[in-house]
Amino acid sequence: MVSQVHLGHIFHIAGSPAARDVPDALADVPDGALIIDDRGRIAFCGTRSDIPDEYRAEKVFDHRPGFLLPGFVDTHVHFPQTFAGDAYGGGQLLEWLELCIYPAESRYAEVEFARSAAAEFCTRRIAAGTTAAMVFGSAFPHAQDALFAETRRRGLRMVGGRGIQTTGEPSAAPLITTEDDAIRLTSEEIDKWHAADTGDVATALLHVAIVPRFSLAVTRRTLDNLGELYDSVRERGVYFHTHLNENNRPGTGEVDTTKHAYGVTTYLDTYDGKFLPGSAVGGKSLLGRRSILAHCVHCQDVELARMAETGTSVAHCPVSQQFLGSGTMPWKRTLASGVTVAAGTDYGGGDEWLIPQVLAAAFKVHISEPGEHGVSMHPAEMLFTGTLAGARALDMENRFGNFDVGKEADFIVVEPARVPALEHTLAQGIRSEDPALARDQTLFALLMGIREPAITEVYVQGRRIDVA
Ligand code: GUN
Ligand code: ZN
């Protein structure tokens, strides 16, 4: 690879700010240059006139008047729901799973179907500019093989693992395995795919996670066995991923049903080794700095404190929470706990592949929180949540997520002209005389208005990814 100079309007969140300091870390370079070295790393990010002499003769890609942004990070998306967005079953989470999702995911038992789904899943990710993702996988090993192989072929970053289920409704039967198979298949996936592309987690694009669907889809024995398994592979950089406190519909909600089924005081306890009645310790914890829990809409303060203490992160999925009527994750209270909050589409619980649309939903739901809980998210916070916070949640902030020199160059090119509504808003929108506010208004308009056709180029580690 030779060095590349990309020109465009750059926005990114520089450095490694705490969530509350993110607005001060917003970097805005209207006449910007992003230089990628021959190893696919950021060599320079700054104003075009400041390009160091040594790079002046390098290959130049002029994207002006387009934008250069870090690639989006989707910290929660379901591979076996690739064709299940907008699935209608007339109910909230538990009914929707039983009526729509378990049957949709069961179709991946067919090898050819699973293979075509893997191709489509990667295509949708690339179109949305999602360069890194935590992927909730299929129960079927052949489908996971297809997903990892296709992800490697396309050059994307992925953490993912097969969805583990050991109990459930009749419609979930094809997805359920015995206790022994649950552990065997998960260990085999780790051995086969964890860092399989480079053989070293520090450089790999592919990583494996242990992924029980949620506590209601497994047993105490499964959680015990998974705790043992995780303990034995933590040092290898393996991840943990599942759902927590998503839906609390009175009478049939997931949260109360789980607490009742396990007899625990908090839902989080079931993942924290405390899955016996009364939240007594029964096994090892699954929490840690490479653990991401999706939703966290209805957390108690003790749960947020325990997540912060262990370095466990939240995948915030407001598009899905609206689609399934799950409620609104309290933005201020969740962030105040100190946990990292990153964005997730939760496709097909959400009906959008685009992280910017998740950020737009976040803005809308959090400004609508009641009274003093309501907040107008800063555009820099939105960008952070969809990029650097995702890298942090994936424990790879040292590798990607912004344009700091030395990081691996994951970025996208946005051409507003491909989406007229975006182009015209950027050109004609009211902008403040105050340069800082004008900058924030431009970033806000950009994030709210991005649609897939505007994302014209996608790069991971400085390599351009083909859309087809
Ligand atoms: N909880 C358990 N399984 C699922 C799922 O597939 N989607 C969502 N949104 N929540 C879940
Ligand atoms: Zn989900």
Which ligand has an atom closest to residue 168 CA? 1
pLDDT at 74 over 80: yes
Q: Which atom of ligand 1 is nearest to the CA of 247?
A: 10
The ligand placed nearest to the CA atom of residue 293 is 2
pLDDT value of position 224: 98
**Domains detected in the chain:** 4-70+403-465 (2.30.40.10), 72-368 (3.20.20.140)
**pLDDT at position 250 over 90:** no
pLDDT tens profile 257-307: 999 999 999 999 999 999 999 999 999 999 999 999 999 999 999 999 999
Whether the pLDDT of residue 251 is over 90: the answer is no
d(CA 466, CA 261): 47
- Rounded to a whole number of angstroms, the CA Rg of the chain reads 21
Q: Binning pLDDT at 50, 70 and 90, where does residue 2 land?
A: confident
pLDDT at 468: 63
Q: How far is the CA of 204 from the centre of ligand 1 (A)?
A: 28
CA nearest neighbour of 223 among 248, 249, 251, 258:
258
407-452 pLDDT per residue, tens: 999 999 999 999 999 999 999 999 999 999 999 999 999 999 999 9
pLDDT given at position 352: 98
Minimal-distance CA residue to ligand 1 atom 8: 349
pLDDT confidence tier of residue 252, bands split at 50, 70 and 90: confident
Ligand nearest the Cα atom of residue 321 = 1
Q: Which ligand is nearest to the CA of 77?
A: 2
Q: Span 151-155, mean pLDDT?
A: 98
What's the whole-model pTM score?
0.98
Counting from 1 in the atom list of ligand 1, the atom nearest the Cα of 81 is 6
Angstrom CA distances, 12 to 222, 231, 277, 363, stand at: 42, 36, 47, 18
Do residues 22 and 384 make contact, with C-beta atoms less than 8 angstroms apart? yes
Q: Is the pLDDT of residue 75 over 80?
A: yes
Which residues hold their Cβ within 5 A of ligand 2, which is an ion? 294, 346, 349
Mean pLDDT of 58-79: 97
pLDDT digits (tens, 9 = 90+) for 341-396: 999 999 999 999 999 999 999 999 999 999 999 999 999 999 999 999 999 999 99
Phi, psi of 362 (to 5 degrees): -60, -45
pLDDT digits (tens, 9 = 90+) for 319-343: 999 999 999 999 999 999 999 999 9
Tens digit of pLDDT for each residue in 89-132? 888 999 999 999 999 999 999 999 999 999 999 999 999 999 99
Cβ(266)–Cβ(279) below 8 Å: yes
Instruction: Look at residue 58 and tell me whether its pLDDT is greater than 90.
Output: no
| Ligand 2 center to 349 CA (angstroms) | 6
Contacts of 176 (CB under 8 A, 6+ apart): 139, 165, 166, 167, 168
Q: Give the start-end residues of each E strand in 330-386.
A: 341-343
Name which of 72, 59, 56, 64 is nearest 10 in CA terms.
64
Q: How far is the CA of 22 from the centre of ligand 2 (A)?
A: 27
What residue owns the CA closest to ligand 1's atom 11?
243
Atom number of ligand 1 nearest to Cα 246: 10
Ligand 1 pocket, residues with Cβ under 6 angstroms: 78, 93, 97, 101, 213-214, 243, 246, 320, 346, 349
Question: pLDDT digit string (tens) for 13-44?
Answer: 999 999 999 999 999 999 999 999 999 999 99
Q: Determine the residue of 76, 81, 82, 93 to mutate for testing ligand 1's pocket, defined as the one with the most ligand atoms within 8 A of the Cβ atom.
A: 93
Query: Of the residues 78, 83, 97, which should be mutated to test ligand 1's pocket, given the most ligand atoms within 8 Å of the CB?
Result: 97
pLDDT, one tens digit per residue, over 198-243 is: 999 999 999 999 999 999 999 999 999 999 999 999 999 999 999 9
